[in-house]
Structure 1
Amino acid sequence: MGTKIVDMGGWTKDAAESLGGSEAGLKLILGQLAGYPLLLFYRKFLSDKDPKLQHVYFTLSGLFLGHWVIGPGVVHSIYAIIFTYLLLTIAGGTLLSVVVSFSFHLSYLLVGYWYNNTGDEYDISWTMPQCVLCLRLIGLTIDVYDGAQLKLNPDSLSKDQVKNCLTTNPDILEMLSHSFFIGGYFVGPQFSLRKFQEFASPAYHVALPSSPSRFGFKRLMIGVAYLAGHLIGNMFINEDWPNSENYTNSSLPVKLFCLLLWVKIILAKYISIWLMAEGVCVVSGLSYNGSYEDGSPCWTGCANVKLRRLESATRFGHYIEAFNINTNGWVATYVYKRLKFMNNRNISQITTLVFLALWHGWHPGYYLTFFNEFISMGFEAEWAKMWAKSKKVELWKLHPAYQTVTSIIGWVYVHFFLPHCFIPFPLKTASRIFAAYRSVYFVHFLFYLGWPVWGRPVKSYLLPPKAKSVEATKSESTPKSVETAKSEDLTKSK
């Protein structure tokens, strides 16, 4: 289980050292970029061929690149796929298959994390594509289960479930192809096997309204720009900066300002590789998602980041909508919405966030990151309710500058607290996280966890106590009629 990338030397090592990065990271980028010529070749020469030939091509190309990037550890992907195929053959479509698949794949991934744990640093190993495959194979098992439910009770499924369900078990070649498709093997995105089956057919490509290559290479160029921003920024503020003496010795204003730059530099790394992977899916045609209202084709079906929403976010809800959206969509479909029977949104949300933390690994930083997400979203939900009820806010909305001012304040709020919420994710261990937080006086905890205290005067200002009702006021101020007074006197005399 403890297979890791070894230092193989050669030109990739020299190139990585000259760029100031790791050989494993460079191989990941090059492996992802190799998807562009492979998928252009596919569209040109193989997209109109028999689906079985297409599946063979996707399987072999993905296996070859997977082995080049992560080494012999690619065999773990094969083990997981074969296990799932046998499980579906024996018990596909049953609740038992879902429970076993969920337990096996998550446990296998967690054991892999344990054996590959090298301390504070993140190593690119077989667990990286395995975490993507974990969700893909669990989702596949659930889709087969939904297909069985569709036959028994069609009205029991939601639109998403009907869209993704499989009424027959896939064969092993389809599963290998779906798993090793180079557009989604290393870092995602997630896409259902049903969608992939449609994609690997000549009719699908004949129906495409135009060539997707232009849009695909546009996403690639944006990804390269983000990667360049990450590499240049990393020269000045590296990922481990909040754990350095320079950070500790800096003044509080410098820390707070540089943290804004630090988090952007780190996130650029994730955004760049997602954009590169998305571009591969676009070039292949897999990302076709219908047409816009004006009739132009939509190629965003495999998007994992919404750049405009991300960079202009005015609340953390926007960031969650725009960042790693395929994983968030998978979790919403296969975990959160399946917990409706609990009739408690908070329990469903907490369970979903715990699953996401487990899926990332054992480090305390992952769990604290998702705890930060929970408290920030809880605060924003309460704030939104209060803001919507305020009569003062209704008057403010009439001012022409309202939208501009609130957008600026919201943008500053998100980008001020974003690094504080994200610090645990790259630092990982409790001692490093505590030291970084202590140095900035746990400012985001004071803000979010202190909301019940500092929020009281804010609520009193925006939602002043309600005045007495008009009816009650009238009844107190209106004198009694003569008949009423006589009636009361008569009652008293009796």
Structure 2
Amino acid sequence: MDSILQSISTGLGVSEPALRLLVSTLLGYPLAFVYRTQIQQKSEVLKNVFIAVSGIVLCYFNYGIDIRHSLAAVLFTYLNIKFLSGTSHSVILQFIVHMGHLLIGYYYTASDSYDIKWTMPHCVLVLRHIGLMTDIYDGKTDIEKLAPRYRQSALKEPPSLLELLGYTYFPSSFLVGPQFPMMRYKKFISGTFEDKDGYYQYSLKRFSLGCLYLILNQIGSAWLSDDYLFSKDYANANLFKRIVYLGLWGKFTLYKYISIWLLTEGACIGFGLTYNEAKKDWSGCQNINPYLFENARCFGDYIESFNENTNMWVANYVFTRLKFLGNKYLSQISSLLFLAIWHGFHSGYYMCFYMEFAVIFFEKEFTSMIAKSPTVTNILKSPVMTPVIFVVLKFYTVCNMGYCITPFVFLSYTKWWTLYSIVRFYGFIIFFPWVFLYKPVLHAILKSVDGSQRGSAVKEAKTE
């Protein structure tokens, strides 16, 4: 089997771990079919056994003996539930042990590039298990004292070891997500979603989109290669071309993540896990909104549409639980810092999330200032401005997204700093001087424009 996979991966020009990941993702569909046709009407014990065994086999197929890391994590979580369940100490201990395990793993396995090793699914596991222990803690709290967003996932009864194994190794989600709470898994196993229609069509749609994005990524990777970014031809091109190229490269690079998320989501839908009780559809584990992503008019749209489940997890288990800091921006910075640490030690992660904070901060303040200017608002609402705004915003989002994700892809400082220098640090120039330079200037301009407009209106009124 190993030699066959190695031959195929060589022929396709991809790494063997990447091929194993893709094969495992696609195997989620026949496993979902078997579950639907043979297992769904069986006992909950048998359902859990099928889910757990399928996932464990896939995990071993990908990482071999390194499966011991996730099994050890499951054992620790189970013991934590058994002896400290529902206490604040259990949540703190869960966070320290699982994050510590992950970070030690990063330390010993990290290289200068992104590697598909046991730490990749383990980072999914870490969030899942920290969230689980927090949900058990919430379940022991008076329901009236819980914020509404915590009530849906709060657990009155902790899971059994078998449930924990099934939840951890759910075949189509343990490798790269999506994230979902134990409450959803319990509802799935109990048959809450079994009578809901439309899953087949929804699953097929996400599968088709996943295949389309995978093809686009392969085409884009051949046309907009990583190697070209470090070539003399790229460095010698004019600055505008370099900026546009970097933006398009970034967009096609993100298609890699979008494709795998769509494929895993499609398999999860096939199992019947993802029913959204609020929307009455199968979007409950949606991790990417392709329509919003492709039509993004700002970075806020990108963030809202991309990696939705992880963002929701951070919002529920980190951001909203930092209210004691008393400052929204401190909570946001802390959440982004957590995400960076969760990804690893490479400087690229920290620069990427720092850029995210800087861009979102800029956008919120800039749009707020524009919205308060009646003169500029009226000009922008003009039909003549619609195509102009579209082109400007498309250029802004695509080109700056490429700049922002460069450190995320080229993790080492020497690589991403080299690329930043090649494009003359244009992202830094756009966003970093906002507070002390651009904002005061824009404020003065808007004040002058609105003042002139009011003055003209007064003169016209007096003339009449």
- Normalising by the smaller structure, the TM-score range is over 0.9
In the TM superposition, residue 219 of structure 1 has moved relative to its aligned partner by: 0.8
Give structure 1 regions of 4+ aligned residues with deviation exceeding 6 angstroms. 465-468
TM-score, normalising length from structure 1?
Answer: 0.88
Quote the residue 1:279 is aligned against.
266
C-alpha distance after superposition, 1:330-376 (max 9, x if no partner): 00000000011211011100100000000000000000000000100
Question: 1:128 is matched with which residue: 120, 128, 135?
Answer: 120
Give 1:226 deviation, angstroms.
Answer: 1.0
In structure 2, list runs of 5 or more residues that go unmatched: 455-464
Q: Mind listing any 5+ residue stretches in structure 1 that lack a counterpart?
A: 1-7, 471-494
Q: Which residue of 2 aligns with 1:258?
A: 245
Aligned residue-pair number: 452
Q: Distance in 2 between matches of 1:429 and 1:203?
A: 47
Q: Which moved more, 1:276-285 or 1:231-240?
A: 231-240
Q: Are 1:177 and 2:181 counterparts?
A: no
**Structure 2 counterparts to residues 317-356 of structure 1, below 5 A:** 317-356=300-339
Q: Is the 8 A contact 2:193 2:273 kept in 1?
A: no
Q: Which residue of 1 aligns with 2:209?
A: 222
Match of 1:198 in 2: 187
Asked whether the equivalents of residues 251 and 401 of structure 2 are also in contact (C-alpha less than 8 Å), the reply is no
Instruction: Give the Cα–Cα distance (whole angstroms) in 1 for the partners of residues 155 and 228 of structure 2.
Output: 48
Of residues 108, 115, 130, the one that matches 2:108 is 115
Instruction: Mark the CA change 1:399 to 1:181 in structure 2 (over 3 Å): closer, same or farther.
Output: same
- Structure 2 CA distance for partners of 1:363 and 1:316, relative to 1, 3 Å: same
| C-alpha deviation, 1:218, in angstroms | 1.6
Higher relative contact order (CA 8 A, sep 6+): 2
Amino acid at match of 2:39: L
C-alpha distance in structure 2 between counterparts of 1:214 and 1:240, whole Å? 40
**Contact in 2 for aligned 1:48/1:201 (Cα 8 Å):** no
Matched with 1:458 is 442
Task: Quote the sequence identity (%).
Answer: 37
Provide the rounded CA distance (Å) in 2 between the counterparts of 1:288 and 1:14: 39
Letter in 1 for 2:308: I
Could you tell me whether the CA contact under 8 Å between 1:91 and 1:97 is conserved in 2?
Answer: yes
Q: 1:33 maps to which residue?
A: 26
CA contact under 8 A between 2:114 and 2:411: conserved in structure 1?
Answer: no
**2:123 is the counterpart of 1:140:** no
Of 70, 74, 87, the residue aligned with 1:94 is: 87
Q: Which residue of structure 1 lines up, in the alignment, with residue 99 of structure 2?
A: 106
Distance of aligned partners of 1:398 and 1:423 in 2 relative to their CA distance in 1, 3 Å threshold: closer
The one-letter amino acid paired with 1:135 is: L
Bigger mean CA offset, 54-63 vs 43-52: 43-52
SS of 1:196's partner is helix
CA contact (8 A) 1:47 1:201 kept: no
Provide, for residues 45-101 of structure 1, a one-character-per-residue CA deviation record: whole Å limited to 9, x for no partner: 211211111000000000111111222212211110110110111111111111111
Contact kept, 8 Å, 1:109 with 1:134, in 2: the verdict is yes
Partners in 1 of 2:78 and 2:340 — Cα distance?
A: 27
Equivalences for residues 278-427 of structure 1 within 5 A: 278-290=265-277, 292=279, 297-427=280-410
Q: Which of the numbers 5, 8, 33 marks the counterpart of 1:12?
A: 5
- Please give the per-residue CA displacement for 1:433-465, whole angstroms capped at 9, x wherever unaligned: 111111111001011112232343332222338
Partner-residue secondary structure (3-state), 1:121: coil
Over 3 Å counting, the alpha-carbon distance change for 1:240 and 1:147 in structure 2 is farther
In 2: Cα distance, 1:253 partner to 1:375 partner:
23
Root-mean-square deviation (CA), in Å? 1.8
- 1:258 is matched by which residue type in structure 2? Y
Q: Kindly provide the amino acid, as one letter, of the partner of residue 132 in structure 2.
A: L
**Which of 235, 241, 244 is matched with 1:248 structurally?**
235
- Contact 1:304–1:323 (Cα < 8 Å) also in 2: yes
Normalised by the length of structure 2, the TM-score is 0.93
Report if the CA contact (8 A) 2:373-2:446 is conserved.
Answer: yes
CA distance, structure 1, for counterparts of residue 421 and residue 377 of structure 2: 39
2:176 pairs with one of 184, 187, 201: 187
Kindly provide the amino acid, as one letter, of the partner of residue 42 in structure 1. Y
Contact 1:262–1:419 (Cα < 8 Å) also in 2: yes
CA 398–214 in structure 1, closer or farther in 2 if over 3 Å, else same: closer
> Residue 69 in 1 paired to residue 62 in 2?
yes
Deviations 1:220-278 (A, max 9, x none): 11111111111222223223543344433433233112112211221111011000110
Distance 1:261 1:247 in 2: 14
Name which one, 1 or 2, has greater alpha-carbon Rg. 1
Structure 1 counterpart of 2:418: 435
Amino acid across the alignment from 2:180 = F
Q: Distance in 1 between matches of 2:222 and 2:251?
A: 14
